[in-house]
């Protein structure tokens, strides 16, 4: 079993609440309120900015040049690629860059992103990557689950672009690299005595992901 599979198996209820959330189901069948999706997109932009900061922390926490280069590539993937794609998607949903940048940060966004940063600051690189893993790998699982509903994406579904993005080969490979990276770090620094502490971090991050979906549904700030 991979380290990621072990962590998931240790926290099954939280994992289900995250990956099977109403927001996800409603994206899958196309019934999600478009205003809820816009609210989510704006908050996800703010989320990604802090995510880039978490990768910067991973550079700092790197134990060697290979760790530092991998984290630096993560920063660049977000700042140079992901943010542009995100702004394009926001534009297609009628959201301007000015509107997005002026948006207040929701409490669920603050809670999740600062939790990840705090976990990384207090702990080592493995703690930080465990806190990041529900986010990176979870979206890949959700993308695949949604694409498998009804045997493929319905082009009439307003959320088809989102589903295709996360079920696509490129994102699936990013998630696979994250799974392998967790195993590599675990081989060096995971003891059986430490596992329950990592499972707590994983569970907290997973519950904060579910709260992020709920924030979108409720359009909460
Ligand atoms: C709340 C939330 N959770 C996970 C992701 C997925 N994700 C996390 S980082 C990243 C960039 C690639 O490294 C992507 C796509 C998201 N966007 N928003």
Could you report the per-residue pLDDT of 14-32, keeping only the tens digit for each? 999 999 999 999 999 999 9
Choosing from 105, 135, 170, 173, which is the catalytic residue?
Answer: 135
Q: How far is 208 from 21, CA to CA, in rounded Å?
A: 12
pLDDT score of 27: 95
pLDDT score of 23: 98
For residue 142 the two structure tokens come to: 């959700």
Domains and CATH numbers, the chain: 3-216 (1.20.910.10)
Pocket of ligand 1 (CB under 6 A): 44, 47, 51, 74, 77-78, 82, 135-136, 139, 174, 209, 212
User: Is residue 77 very low, low, confident or very high in pLDDT (cuts 50, 70, 90)?
Assistant: confident
Q: How far is 207 from 12, CA to CA, in rounded Å?
A: 11
To which H or E segment does residue 201 belong? helix 195-218
Cβ(144)–Cβ(24) under 8 Å?
no
135 is catalytic: yes
pLDDT score of 150: 66
Ligand 1 mean position, distance from CA 133 (Å): 10
209 is catalytic: yes
To which H or E segment does residue 43 belong? helix 34-61
Q: How far is 2 from 164, CA to CA, in rounded Å?
A: 26
Q: Residue 6: CA atoms inside 13 Å, Cβ hemisphere, count?
A: 17
Could you report the per-residue pLDDT of 96-133, keeping only the tens digit for each? 989 998 999 999 999 999 999 999 999 999 999 999 99
Q: Please report the atom of ligand 1 found closest to the CA of residue 135.
A: 4
Cβ(169)–Cβ(211) under 8 Å?
no
Question: Which of the pair, 194 or 153, is modelled with greater confidence?
Answer: 194
């Amino acid at each position: 079993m991979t380290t990621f599979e072990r962590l998931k198996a240790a926290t099954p209820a939280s994992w289900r609440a995250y990956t099977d959330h109403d927001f996800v189901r409603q994206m899958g069948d196309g019934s999600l309120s478009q205003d809820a999706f816009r609210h989510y997109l704006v908050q996800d932009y703010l989320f990604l900015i802090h995510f880039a900061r978490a990768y910067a922390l991973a550079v700092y926490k790197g134990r060697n040049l290979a760790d530092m280069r991998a984290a630096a590539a993560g920063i660049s993937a977000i700042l140079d690629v992901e943010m542009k794609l995100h702004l394009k998607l926001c534009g297609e949903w009628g959201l301007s860059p000015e509107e997005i940048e002026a948006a207040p940060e929701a409490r669920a966004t603050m809670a999740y992103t600062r939790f990840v940063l705090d976990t990384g600051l207090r702990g080592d690189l493995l703690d930080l990557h465990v806190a990041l893993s529900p986010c990176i790998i979870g979206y890949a699982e959700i993308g695949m689950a949604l694409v498998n509903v009804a045997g493929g994406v319905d082009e009439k579904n307003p959320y088809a672009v989102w589903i295709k993005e996360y079920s696509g080969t490129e994102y699936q490979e990013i998630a696979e690299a994250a799974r392998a990276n967790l195993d590599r770090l675990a081989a060096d620094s995971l003891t059986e005595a430490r596992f329950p502490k990592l499972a707590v971090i994983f569970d907290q991050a997973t519950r904060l992901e579910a709260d992020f979906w709920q924030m979108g549904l409720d359009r909460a700030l």
